[in-house]
Structure 1
């Protein structure tokens, strides 16, 4: 994607808030933290400054930059554990809206993008979807959806012509495709294999291509 292409259909600049879901150490390199690993790869791809912890964003790790001179992107690694992500994501997004130039306008709010692991995809695949669609058992997504509803941010985001998107990175399922809770838990909290990690880290450009196509509709 050329950075000059990331404008909306009216040719106006956009702001994008990209937040990753995962778990803190010692599970920060697990399959369940694929969103965090992808976010760090994106930070490197975009050449943004190093992440720093910022209390107004729920003590999450954040970095921000411009692509060309008209695209403002903030990357945020959610500080909460996966199943409790919602409140921190809602707080961080609200803070970004308040600080964004678009936050004071009636015609649009920044796009919200959630990065997460996806068991329903084969390892290495990326899939972009609507953030409000069924979480299909993903507790991190459920938590985010519930917090956006309970705070009213989800409704206001839609009313302000903002977009709520999510991008899943495929991690597949445990051997035998078992759905037993204990097997699934052990699998997602297991270390992401080196080959899949390298594939994940190479997805940053593909991720930006997916977002450019959706955001500029």
Structure 2
């Protein structure tokens, strides 16, 4: 990461909360848990401390550190299953907002990492978190929880950003959309080649975030 990529116009401290969606074991290495795998690669890329479980953050696995002295970053692995991610993400983000490291006048950027069937395997795409989830139940859960808790409105009012980054996993053979075929596909093991691509995306991810947040 560059020294000024995430700095705001006045050179003040910036806070970023990056949370991954996925599933707990035995599906933590599946296509549907691509967000978790990307988060771990990011922790290694940034040379942040090992993940630790945190009760205040709803038993999420967290790792935090600074980038270039003025960027506070927390990495958070959501502990809930994919379809029930919302409440856990909202609780963890609320806790981060209340932490001393967070800025007072401007809420931290919220970034959600997830798998994306609408992208070819290996691709990354950054978008607005409130945009259509396109059938992704984990994103739907997060969006619903942010609305129901009022966090989404307060995030916008405090000039915070809600972003998401999808990692492409493609679709099952034949592009079938049958529910049972899709479920078997996303819960299947991420192929080794795609996993290597995913683990190599940490630098690209940070470049995407730098470009967006610096706008």
- TM superposition score normalised by structure 2: 0.98
2: CA distance between counterparts of 1:100 and 1:186? 43
Q: Is contact 2:121-2:170 (8 Å) kept?
A: yes
For residues 16-60 of structure 1, the C-alpha deviation after alignment (integer angstroms, 9 at most, x for no partner) is 000000000000000000000000000000000000000111101
Q: Is contact 1:6-1:13 (8 Å) kept?
A: no
2: CA distance between counterparts of 1:67 and 1:196? 28
Report how far residue 6 of structure 1 moved.
1.7
For residues 49-108 of structure 1, the C-alpha deviation after alignment (integer angstroms, 9 at most, x for no partner) is 0000001111010010001211100000000000000000000000000004445x2x31
Counterparts of residues 192-211 of structure 1 (less than 5 Å): 192-211=190-209
Bigger proportion of residues as helix: 1
Aligned to 1:35: 35
Structure 1, gaps ≥5 residues long = none
Q: Is contact 1:128-1:210 (8 Å) kept?
A: yes
Aligned to 2:84: 84
2: CA distance between counterparts of 1:101 and 1:202? 29
Q: Is contact 1:17-1:113 (8 Å) kept?
A: yes
The structure-2 alpha-carbon separation of the partners of 1:169 and 1:25, relative to structure 1 and needing over 3 Å to count, comes to: same
Structure 2, gaps ≥5 residues long = none
Q: How many pairs were matched up?
A: 215
Q: Is contact 1:30-1:192 (8 Å) kept?
A: yes
- TM superposition score normalised by structure 1: 0.97
2: CA distance between counterparts of 1:110 and 1:100? 12
Q: Is contact 2:5-2:211 (8 Å) kept?
A: no
Aligned to 1:9: 9
